Chains A and B, each alone.
Chain A
Amino acid sequence: MKKQYVTGKSYDLGEDEVGRMLAMSLRNKIIPLGNLSGGARLKGLLILLLSHLFGRIIFPRIIPFEQKLHRLYLLLKRNR
């Protein structure tokens, strides 16, 4: 059997756990899967999915602008 990594390249549990969580969340909307204590909210799950999938591309590119982005983030947060 082909060897695998416990921590996936995108810092997920193995490979694509977040995708599986999304699939299960959608399935849970059709048939009750049991007590998942409210489950994972779709919005948060989508953010996580994007972070896992595209984080490796995005984070190294934005890190030089980290301080500027942080200031922008604080500004947006204050205006919200």
Chain B
Amino acid sequence: MNMQQFYALDQLIKEGERISNHFDTVSFDLFDTLLIRRIHDPDLVKPAVARYISNRFNSRATGQGKEKNWSWQQIQKLRDTFEKEQRQETGQKFDDFEACYPDYMSRVITTVFGDQKDDQLLQEVTGYELAIENSVLVPRYDLVDWLRRLKKQGKKVLVVSDVYLPAAHLERLIEHAGFLDQVDAVVSSADSFLAKASGKAFPMLQERFDLQYERWLHVGDNPVSDGGQPAEQGIHSLVLRDGLEKMRKSLARRYHHYSLGLPFYRGRCLQQIMLPLEAENSPQHPLYVKGFNVFSPLLAAFVQGVAEHCLNAGIRRLYFFSREGWLFEQVWNRVIPKIYAGMGNLPEVSYLYVSRMALAPASCGHAGLDQEHADIVFLPPGNKDFRDVCRVFGLEGATFTNILSLYELHQETVLSPLHEGFLPENRLRFNEMLEDEAFQEEVKKQTLPAHQALQRYLEDQGLFAQPDVALVDIGWLGTIQRFLHRAIAHRPDAPRCHGLLFGATRGISYPTTPANSITGIIYDRDRFDLAASTLLYNRDLFEETCRAPHPTLNGYRLIEKSTEDGAGYELIFRHEDDAIGQAEKEQDHFFAPLQEGILAGAEQYAAAAAIFGYSLSDVKPWLNYLLVSRMAFPKTREIEEICQRHHLDDFHGQHKATKAAAAKELWKCSRLKLRWRPLLRTEFFLRLIKERLRS
């Protein structure tokens, strides 16, 4: 028999090149030969399609007020039954028990949707199935490269596959892989029911393309279908039995197998499927690798948690707060449409330009400045006196001189207990001043334009059009949402605000009401979660990782609504030409590969999560592991590579606190300590346990 087996791809290509002169036709098997799958079992894509159909049906049924639901398991069972029936049927007429996807899938659709024959829906389902297939298929670079060379030499190149997808569908997969133009014809057993497995496909091809067996070379991975059967016809066949491919699939199978019994492995299994293969796996910046392997699952799972929350609560509008929301929105756009494909009630998303510095003044325009919000100013140790209050709330300090003197205060009176010279009675007098009507009138007068500009901006963004809105931010205290809600609470059309934070540290208690609440998705101090609390080791790192490459918003300016397109407001951004602005730019540039890695990883996360059907709770144990291992027990090299260079926060003042003991942080320890104190990380972790138990 003219069959040769190879256990490494390079050996096969070398032999193929050597003997290629003897042949004028080369046929290739497609799956596991030209294209490899990230998943170990091709059937794993089927449940994703069943979920898509189920989502489509259930969304339509809900819209029409019907109660009947199809679960994805029922649809999967239906597909398996119809496919099996067709295979049995063809088995009676042909040697091969083949099936044709459009035939049995249209039966599934007709059964589920009850319509006569919905070609449009079949096309959409097929489109989704092929998109999922595409996301798990990777062209084998060296083999495709050889295929291109063969084509260049003038050989007839065929792609032959035993699969339920017809040739037209395979062409779409090959087109996505980027070598359809190099192929003369694509042949599938689904069209003729003549497969390679029985050997019947080869005479059919010989007749159809007028081929000579002795001038025909076939390349594949199956010793029977691609080896023995063509060789029996006199076709020279090269069979690849790749040991490394076997290893890769064996690992994927093992992770999947473990994930069925141990929830910890679900996230790990998901990440195994996410891994780039072949030419995709090119050398990258170390931060890109961290973005892909560590931050992308964290952020993708976070937006998945946000979507789950919105779907459960029936929230149809979602806003990502600047500037971290910039990355969240991009991750959302890559992840959510794939995971929740076919679902009609996903929230509409947009990016909202907000910041504490912009919202603080706007929040006082109607309600004035109360003690609760004034106290927030003195949380950061950098803020010290009334000048900081004025800076944060956009007030002119000089206009308050008379009122201050009435309460025996002046602008430099120390009001923060963290600074030297602080007297509690001054703070009491300051609190009394906050209740002074004249003071409140002056505050309202000065902040009213910002307040009105904010209302116009929010109206423009459609915030008041829905009864419930989700407000997504990185964390930590929910101050931005607190200010935002205060600015709109007086309006009768104010929506209920559901704050969804990456981490809710709740350093100060949040004024939770049914109309305004915050929830931490990955970490919430209200739920005891020791592993997730390790993100407290370096919150700035997460902020810098997600931050948009545009300057922070400084405020909302009210302008005339005179022009046609004039919205009546203007967003004022911070200037970037000073030292802090330049430092921020440098930081953005430094973290650009990290963000690139996150977005690349998010694409793969979406495909893997759609295939496995995992929810946030499924992958949470793995996320906890990622957080503990990377935040609490990082390698010294990792800290050096990823630790942010600059972090800007205008809300924090420039004063130096004298009484606040600088908190010791693992991520700020010297390299010497990190490298040579073996129990340093354990010490810090024990300290974290103590703090969490006390709080």
Contacts and interface: CB of A to CB of B under 8 A. Distances in A.
B530 interface: yes
B243 interface: yes
A71 interface: no
B247 A31 contact: no
Nearest to A24: B629
Given A6-B293, A33-B628, A51-B250, A61 B263 contact: no
B264 A33 contact: no
Contacts of B621: 35-39
A57 B613 CA distance: 34
A58 B264 CA distance: 27
A6 B294 CA distance: 11
Nearest to A45: B258
B383 interface: no
B250 A59 contact: yes
Interface string A10-52: 0101100100110010010001111111111100100110011
A46 to B, nearest CB: 12
Interface in B282-305: 282-289, 292-293
Contact of B624 (A17, A36, A64): A36
Nearest to B8: A60
Contacts of A4: 283-286, 289
Contact of A1 (B265, B277, B641, B689): B641
Interface in B254-288: 254-255, 258, 262-265, 268, 271-272, 275-277, 281-288
B472 interface: no
Interface residues of B, number: 56
B70 interface: no
A11 B246 CA distance: 11
A40 B264 contact: yes
A34 B531 contact: yes
Nearest to B532: A34
Contacts of A39: 262, 264, 621
Interface in B587-624: 597, 620-621, 624
For the side of the interface on A, what is the size category? 35 or more
A61 B244 CA distance: 10
Nearest to B618: A37
Interface in B75-119: none
Contacts of B292: 6
Contact of B529 (A1, A34, A37, A63): A34
Contact of A48 (B251, B283, B293, B633): B251
Contacts of A1: 285-287, 641
A51 B244 contact: no
Contact of A34 (B242, B244, B597, B624): B624
Determine which residue in B7, B264, B271 has the highest number of CB atoms from chain A within 10 A of its CB, and name it.
B264
A77 B532 CA distance: 41
A63 B293 contact: no
A40 B622 CA distance: 10
Contacts of A51: 247, 250-251, 254
A68 interface: no
Nearest to B533: A34
Contacts of B247: 11, 51, 55-56, 58-59
A2 interface: yes
Contacts of A3: 283-286
Given A34-B531, A51-B254, A66-B241, A24 B633 contact: yes
B177 to A, nearest CB: 19
B530 A55 contact: no
13 contacts: A1-B641, A3-B285, A6-B281, A7-B275, A21-B625, A34-B529, A34-B624, A37-B621, A39-B264, A40-B264, A44-B254, A56-B244, A60-B8
List of 6 A-B pairs having minimum Cβ-Cβ separation, nearest first? A34-B531, A60-B243, A34-B530, A3-B283, A37-B621, A59-B247
